[in-house]
Every structure is written in structure tokens, then in C-alpha cells.
Amino acid sequence: MSLLRKVLEGLFRLSELLAALMGLFILLVILAQVAGRYLGFVVPSALEMAGFATAGLIFLGLAPTLRAGGHIRVRLLLEKLPKPAKRWAESMALGLGLLATLYATWHAWLRVGESYRYGDLAPGLLPLPLWLPQSFLAVGFTFFTLALLEVGLKTWKGGEG
């Protein structure tokens, strides 16, 4: 296994781990809210934190889901196409997806930098710096872009994406 493949594998594993930790965080926040209702205390900004973690879970889970073949594909159409047309359709879809995620990744990182530079805070009771939850989105987009590039290169070289 090449060094680049090992690095990518490690990054995608990190993405999976971070997504799982976001899910665990959501569970703990909800449990704290439920316990707080029975014990008479309020968890400040619980809904907001759970929302940020949900966004983090979704975006950090994009790359591992793509690599596992879990994203929706139009398999019925692809299976009916002859092999050259199938490869062309997949290549076009992956190329357009890669362009879209490169654009989204770039703007997500710009937003993180802007929020950090201006000291933007979440509007809830907890003055959370917005660059923190935004960075999970940007990191998730970055990993997804790398995964699309990996799958695209496999497809463009003639393999299955």
C-alpha cells in the first residue's frame, strides 16, 4: 500500500471517528436535556449544540459513506448502459460532483476564516465561537472532496467507482 493511500485511509478513518463522536455528543446532549427536565435544570444552548453536531455528523460522514457505496446512485440506469457509456456517465457525474465540492469546500473554509477573524459568536446562551462548528463542515467537505477525487481517479483509470 502506497504512502498516499495510507494517508487517505487514515484521513477517512478520522472522518468516520469524528462523525461517530458527533453522534455520541448529540446523544449526551439529549440525555442531559431529558435528565435536566426531571431534575429541574436547563442545559444552555442544548438545541443549538445538537444542531451544530448534527451538521458535523452529516458532513464528516460524507466521505466514509461515499467510499462504502452508500450514496444514492441511479443504478437502474447505469446497469442498462453499455460499459463505455456507463463509464462516461459515471465520470461526468463524478467530475461535476468534484467541481461542486471543490467550490463548496473553498467557500466553507473562507467562512471559517471570516468567522474566526471577526470573532463571530453563536446567537444562543452559550457564546460559542462560530468558527468551531463551521470547521467541522469545512473538514467534512474537504474529506468528501478527497474521496470524490479518489473514486473519480479509479473510474477514470477504468476501474469501478
pLDDT in tens, 13-43: 999 999 999 999 999 999 999 999 999 998 8
Residue 49, pLDDT above cutoff 80: yes
Residue-wise pLDDT for 99-109, tens only, equals 999 999 999 99
Average confidence score pLDDT of the chain: 90
> At residue 114, what is the residue type?
E
Q: What is the 3-state secondary structure (H, E, C) of the chain?
A: CCHHHHHHHHHHHHHHHHHHHHHHHHHHHHHHHHHHHHHCCCCCCHHHHHHHHHHHHHHHCHHHHHHCCCCCCCHHHHHHCCHHHHHHHHHHHHHHHHHHHHHHHHHHHHHHHHHHHHCCECCCCCCCECHHHHHHHHHHHHHHHHHHHHHHHHHHCCCCC
Residue 91, pLDDT above cutoff 80: yes
Task: Write down the residue that cell numbers 502506497 correspond to.
Answer: 2
Task: Say if residues 34 and 13 touch (Cβ distance below 8 Å).
Answer: no
Check residue 104 and give its pLDDT. Answer: 97
- Say how many residues make up the chain: 161
Residue 161, pLDDT above cutoff 90: no
Task: Write down the residue that cell numbers 462548528 correspond to.
Answer: 133
Kindly report the pTM of this predicted structure: 0.88
Backbone φ, ψ for residue 69 (5° rounding):
75, 25
What's the whole-number mean pLDDT along residues 135-158?
A: 91
Residue 77, pLDDT above cutoff 80: no
Q: C-alpha grid cell for residue 96? A: 461535476
Check residue 85 and give its pLDDT. Answer: 85
pLDDT band at 45, cuts 50/70/90?
confident
Whole-number percent of the chain with pLDDT over 90: 62
- Name which of 138, 146, 132 is nearest 11 in CA terms: 146
Residue 55, pLDDT above cutoff 90: yes
Check residue 99 and give its pLDDT. Answer: 96
CA separation for the pair 161, 95 (Å, rounded)? 12
